[in-house]
Amino acid sequence: MKNPLPPAVDNIGRQLAAVRKSRGLTQTQLADLIGIKQYLVSAYEIGRLALSADMLTRFCSALKCSADAVIGLKPKNNIEKINLRLSRRINSIEQLPLNQQKALLQNIDMFLKGAKRA
């Protein structure tokens, strides 16, 4: 019978899953960003595999977060509170060319200014 992983490793896997979900990514999408198979993302998230320094760096780079957010050493900047639909939209905006991002953000700013006045 296998021994369960230490709680710290299990906690890191849960933190990794929470960050991934807050970014609006599936395991398959994250795996594609990192260059691994989906089942390995699952294995890291459930604590079957322990994160090496290299894999932690790759996950953090793909998720655009610090290692502290995955390890759980400091607050995750309210990532749990981010609306999933909003997070997906932000990810889509980040994929646009810079000039289109700028134009879209200017429109959002104008809308928000108008909403504040109302």
CB-based burial label for 38 (10 Å; 0-12, 13-18, 19+): middle
Per residue of the chain (118 residues), what is the pLDDT tens digit? 555 544 454 588 999 999 999 888 999 999 999 999 999 999 999 989 988 999 999 999 999 888 888 887 765 455 555 667 777 788 888 888 999 989 998 998 898 888 777 6
My answer on whether 2 and 53 are in the same domain is: yes
My answer on whether 97 and 116 are in the same domain is: yes
My answer on whether 105 and 118 are in the same domain is: yes
Cα of 113 vs its chain's centroid, Å? 29
My answer on whether 50 and 17 are in the same domain is: yes
Which structural domain range is residue 61 located in? 1-78
The total domain count for the chain is 2
My answer on whether 59 and 97 are in the same domain is: no
My answer on whether 53 and 111 are in the same domain is: no
**For position 76, what pLDDT does the model report?**
47
Helix, strand, or coil here: 111? Answer: helix
Q: How many angstroms separate the CA atoms of 80 and 38, rounded?
A: 23
**For position 5, what pLDDT does the model report?**
47
pTM: 0.59
My answer on whether 113 and 68 are in the same domain is: no
My answer on whether 73 and 87 are in the same domain is: no
My answer on whether 10 and 50 are in the same domain is: yes
**For position 35, what pLDDT does the model report?**
94
My answer on whether 63 and 90 are in the same domain is: no
| Helix ranges restricted to H, the chain | 7-22, 27-34, 38-45, 53-63, 67-71, 84-95, 98-117
**For position 57, what pLDDT does the model report?**
94
